Amino acid sequence: MLGRNVIRCLVAGLTLVVAGALPAGASEETSPEPIVDGGPVAIEDAPWTVAVLLAGNGSAAKRQVCGGTLVQRQWVLTAANCVAGRRPSELRVVVNATTLGAVEPSAELRLSRVVVHPDYNPVQGTADVAMLKLRSPQSTVTTIALNDDAAVPASGEDLAVFGWGASTDGKQPSTLRGAIVQNLETAGGLCGPYSGTEYNSLANVCAGYADGAAATCAGDNGGPLVATQRGGARILVGVTGATDRCGDPGYPGVYQRVSTYEGWVFATIGTPDLSVGQAVVVEGDTDTRTVRVPVWLSHATSRTVRVRWQVTPFTAQANDITGDLTGELEIAPGETQAYIPVTVVGDTIPEQTEQVAVRVTSLQNAKRLKRSGRLRINDDDVVGSGGAVRLGVGSVTSGGGLGVRLPVTLSRPVDHKVTVTLVVVAKGQTIETVNVSFAAGDVDRPVPIVLPTTGGYRVRATVVPPGVEAPVDQGTILVK
């Protein structure tokens, strides 16, 4: 019988039911905490997990053949045995779904490419990895970074697998399940009773349940095997592979080792383009304010991207900016955005609007930039303006995801708290209302805002307290 601690495993077209780790005779309700932590999982807990389906009619649950993992907004890593010989038009991918039975046909994503690893050998099961390219990048998905460290996972480390149990009777809704497994590779690179041709520690990860008595194949073929790093970030270490031993007691699961194939994945996706964005800040009258000029990649990769940056006062004067004028910047694996800090000096001198150039050089793991960025300093000094405190709402252009930091400033510090209300508008619709509070003495309040989609937005100050002048210009946000 299927229990809560059971994950079904779909292997090479066969649906195998994998026994849970409950001791013989133990009932689910009375057993101690099982080693096999198999059970339903919400997609939010493993948001990069996708289902790979055959194109067709009827419930997505019945056409699901494999799992996969979003490694980039347009790319899924899966198992070669799932997709070898198939054309893109024969396959679909479902993202952000917990229950496949509830997926609308319109939510099934089409593919533009199926790329099987050139060394894939279906007889020996070697290099059993493939990449699926979605027709368009998805803005509402979460990707996971790929492990590139051959020493990860460590011996005995807890790992997690995720997949949809393929429904054999077609009656149950097909709901995402997950289980905890352990890295069971032993000294000498051995995995249970597997022979050297069945398990190669250079290309495989050995994972299963520590008691060794239970089945060890958990999650659908092609799906993710995930490690949790110190600090809590998760990283993809394996791709659930095909093995005819799946389900045999005492045989750990054999996974494709992601660190071995990370270079191929990186090459298949392609080196990302790096761009530098624009930012606008209101100068202020006193002190300094640090503005973060966004830098983004066209897509996340498994590599750390490094660049050197240089800030030059283009039309600005040298004393309009302060702090470091050069530096180095890293974009971590899986991330697409970082920021270059530029510190602007406030004054009360009426001036032109000034431009600061922001350039990047010496790119590692990214292609030469498409453009250099700009920081515009809007002067806020008017002869005879009388010393009122002016609110500034800046602008930002970014492309590294849907989160931005909008510069919001006061022209000078005041001795009490100031709260203003900003409204983010797109196409006449209010998207979000944000309250921004400046503590006494505070002049900079960069506001983190997460937009629902790419596109252009306006930001208007709707509630400005007495004693503060409303900004002359609306702020803008452009997310590419």
Single residue of 351, 432, 442, 469 touching Ca ion by CB under 5 A:
351
Q: Are strands 145-146 and 429-438 parallel, antiparallel or unpaired?
A: unpaired
Site stretch for Ca ion (CB under 5 A), options 117-125, 291-299, 351-359, 360-368: 351-359
Q: How far is the CB of 398 from Ca ion (least distance, A)?
A: 26
Judged by CB, which is closer to Ca ion: 179, or 316? 316
Instruction: Report whether the peptide linkage leading into residue 153 is cis, meaning its omega lies within 30 degrees of zero.
Output: yes
* Calpha distance 336→396 (Å, rounded): 16
Q: How far is the CB of 324 from Ca ion (least distance, A)?
A: 22
Site stretch for Ca ion (CB under 5 A), options 199-207, 284-292, 353-361, 390-398: 284-292
> Could you count the other beta carbons within 10 Å of the beta carbon of residue 294?
24
Judged by CB, which is closer to Ca ion: 7, or 468? 468
Site stretch for Ca ion (CB under 5 A), options 131-139, 263-271, 277-285, 293-301: 277-285
Single residue of 198, 379, 432, 469 touching Ca ion by CB under 5 A:
379
Q: How far is the CB of 350 from Ca ion (least distance, A)?
A: 6
- Within positions 129 to 168, which residues make up the interface with Ca ion, using CB under 5 A? none
Q: How far is the CB of 354 from Ca ion (least distance, A)?
A: 9
Site stretch for Ca ion (CB under 5 A), options 150-158, 276-284, 439-447, 467-475: 276-284
Q: Which of 478, 464, 449 is nearest to 411 (CA)?
A: 464
Determine if 469 is a binding residue for Ca ion (CB under 5 A).
Answer: no
Q: What is the 3-state secondary structure (H, E, C) of the chain?
A: CCCCCCCEEEECCEEEECCCCCCCCCCCCCCCCCCCCCEECCHHHCCCEEEEEECCCCCHHHHEEEEEEEEECCEEEECHHHHCCCCHHHEEEECCCCEHHHCCHHHCEEEEEEEECCCCECCCCECCCEEEEECCCCCCCCCCEECCCCCCCCCCCEEEEEEECCCCCCCCCCEEEEEEEEECCECCCECCCCCCCCCCCCCEEEEECCCCCCCCCCCCCCCEEEEECCCCCEEEEEEECCCCCCCCCCCCEEEEEHHHHHHHHHHHHCCCEEEECEEEEECCCCCEEEEEEEEEECCCCCCCEEEEEEEECCCCCHHHEECCCEEEEEECCCCCEEEEEEEEECCCCCCCCEEEEEEEEEEECCECCCCCEEEEEECCCCCCCCCCEEEEECEEEECCCCEEEECEEECCCCCCCEEEEEEEEECCEEEEEEEEEECCCCCECCEEEECCCCEEEEEEEEECCCCEECCCCCEEEEEC
Judged by CB, which is closer to Ca ion: 31, or 348? 348
Judged by CB, which is closer to Ca ion: 220, or 285? 285
Determine if 444 is a binding residue for Ca ion (CB under 5 A).
Answer: no
Distance of CA 210 to the CA centre of its chain: 31
Determine if 287 is a binding residue for Ca ion (CB under 5 A).
Answer: no
Site stretch for Ca ion (CB under 5 A), options 243-251, 347-355, 431-439, 441-449: 347-355
Q: How far is the CB of 286 from Ca ion (least distance, A)?
A: 8
Determine if 14 is a binding residue for Ca ion (CB under 5 A).
Answer: no
Site stretch for Ca ion (CB under 5 A), options 95-103, 223-231, 240-248, 339-347: 339-347
Judged by CB, which is closer to Ca ion: 31, or 288? 288
Both tokens of 364, joined, read 């590692």
Q: Which of 137, 107, 161, 152 is nearest to 300 (CA)?
A: 137
Single residue of 157, 158, 273, 347 touching Ca ion by CB under 5 A:
347
Residues 470 and 461: beta-carbon distance below 8 Å: yes
* Calpha distance 378→394 (Å, rounded): 9
Determine if 380 is a binding residue for Ca ion (CB under 5 A).
Answer: yes
Residues 381 and 472: beta-carbon distance below 8 Å: no
Judged by CB, which is closer to Ca ion: 269, or 418? 418
Q: How far is the CB of 277 from Ca ion (least distance, A)?
A: 24
Single residue of 107, 150, 349, 463 touching Ca ion by CB under 5 A:
349
Determine if 285 is a binding residue for Ca ion (CB under 5 A).
Answer: yes
Determine if 432 is a binding residue for Ca ion (CB under 5 A).
Answer: no
Residues 393 and 434: beta-carbon distance below 8 Å: no
Determine if 90 is a binding residue for Ca ion (CB under 5 A).
Answer: no
Single residue of 90, 273, 381, 469 touching Ca ion by CB under 5 A:
381
Determine if 283 is a binding residue for Ca ion (CB under 5 A).
Answer: yes
Site stretch for Ca ion (CB under 5 A), options 72-80, 199-207, 278-286, 333-341: 278-286
Site stretch for Ca ion (CB under 5 A), options 125-133, 250-258, 372-380, 399-407: 372-380
Judged by CB, which is closer to Ca ion: 185, or 285? 285
Q: How far is the CB of 321 from Ca ion (least distance, A)?
A: 13
Judged by CB, which is closer to Ca ion: 262, or 380? 380
Q: How far is the CB of 233 from Ca ion (least distance, A)?
A: 41
Judged by CB, which is closer to Ca ion: 128, or 283? 283
Judged by CB, which is closer to Ca ion: 157, or 381? 381
Site stretch for Ca ion (CB under 5 A), options 55-63, 168-176, 349-357, 413-421: 349-357
Contact footprint for Ca ion (CB under 5 A): 283, 285, 347, 349, 351, 379-381
